[in-house]
Amino acid sequence: MGMSANYGPAADGQQMIALIRAAVDLGVTFFDTAESYGPFTNELLVGEALAPVRDQVVIATKFGHNLDPETGQRRGRNSRPEHIKQVAEASLKRLKTDVIDLFYQHRGDPNVPIEEVAGAVKELIQQGKVRHFGLSEAAAKTIRRAHSVQRVTAIQSEYSLWARDPEAEVLPTCEELGVGFVPWSPLGQGFLTGKVDPRQTFDKGDIRSIFPRFTEEARNANQPLVDLVREIARQKNGTPAQIALSWLLAQKPWIVPIPGTRKLERLKENLGAVEVEITSDDLREIDEAASKIHVHGARGTGQEEYL
């Protein structure tokens, strides 16, 4: 996503293709995109980058928004079965592939029962156009309802040391049903890396400019969490980013975070998280320390909710 949108102007396409291919060379096998990233341009980027190594990787993309075909602007949510099938066909072309490995509902549609959504994806799976069905930002009850129609392979929701909402109901439901969990923004939109200056401003092209958690007041108030991560990083001889990722990896073996970057050095740093060992004792100590820190500001746009 970040290569094409939401963090300022899109990065140079050829440089990003080189970076994606470098990720494959370094052992990365799971890539996440969506028709709404760009919009459309991120799928094209991922498709071109991964075409030479398509059989070595898993590609996830998403449906669920009405996008203006000319401007790409979002015009509300749309998970009607016929729309899902249209999105699948368009995504297959942009991704230069004959099958989508993991097809997520990007956000719930209050106007379409989840059973109908699951049924539409089930048909695509039966046709060989999709391999697996996923949901993003879904409530536990929605996951169960969808799972009763078509097995849900993965749930993608925001989850990190400063966004722990899934722990109450969603993660236990995933464990019970055998569903994988994919945390988006595992680095807290960069905040947990310690690289976000509390005094910096974000221009309109940066999505963080509208996030309540990224006001100057909230960033100053949330600094103790960064200090905690930095201290753990010092103890573990790692970086704050690696601690944020290794903390997620230590939660459950079926949790797979998807950090994004535009830089090769950050890619390598993120991958180094697998070498940082977080023990059960470490997790308890981190939880105890984090429980004393109140996170200020709503997550996302402040309107994120499970449906």
Q: Is 143:111 a contact under the CB 8 Å cutoff? A: no
Amino acid found at 265: E
Model pLDDT for residues 172-194, shown as the tens digit of each residue? 999 999 999 999 999 999 999 99
Q: What is the pLDDT of residue 300?
A: 87
Distance CA 288, CA 238 (A): 21
Average pLDDT of the residues in 94-100: 98
Q: What is the pLDDT of residue 195?
A: 92
Distance CA 273, CA 275 (A): 5
Distance CA 59, CA 153 (A): 13
* Catalytic residue status for 104: no
Catalytic residue among 7, 37, 104, 306: 37
Q: Find, among 181, 184, 172, 186, the residue nearest to 140 by Cα.
A: 172
Q: What is the pLDDT of residue 175?
A: 98
Average pLDDT of the residues in 268-277: 97
Distances in Å between the Cα of 175 and the Cα atoms of 64, 161, 170, 179, 185 are 25, 20, 9, 6, 21
Average pLDDT of the residues in 264-268: 98
Superfamily of the domain at 1-158? NADP-dependent oxidoreductase domain (3.20.20.100)
Q: Find, among 155, 95, 85, the residue nearest to 127 by Cα.
A: 85
Model pLDDT for residues 125-154, shown as the tens digit of each residue? 999 999 999 999 999 999 999 999 999 999
CB atoms within 10 A of CB 80: 16
Q: Is 35:5 a contact under the CB 8 Å cutoff? A: no
- pLDDT > 90 fraction of the chain, expressed in percent and rounded: 93
Distance CA 60, CA 50 (A): 12
Q: What is the pLDDT of residue 215?
A: 94
pLDDT tier at 302 (50, 70, 90 boundaries)? confident
Model pLDDT for residues 61-75, shown as the tens digit of each residue? 999 999 987 777 888
Distance CA 121, CA 200 (A): 43
Q: What is the pLDDT of residue 199?
A: 84
pLDDT tier at 210 (50, 70, 90 boundaries)? very high
pLDDT tier at 197 (50, 70, 90 boundaries)? confident
Distance CA 138, CA 90 (A): 24
Domain ranges of the chain: 1-158, 187-251+263-307
- pLDDT > 70 fraction of the chain, expressed in percent and rounded: 100
Average pLDDT of the residues in 208-223: 94
Distances in Å between the Cα of 273 and the Cα atoms of 18, 30, 42, 249, 259 are 22, 16, 26, 9, 11
Burial class (CB in 10 A: 0-12, 13-18, 19+), 244: buried
Average pLDDT of the residues in 204-213: 92
Q: What is the pLDDT of residue 71?
A: 78
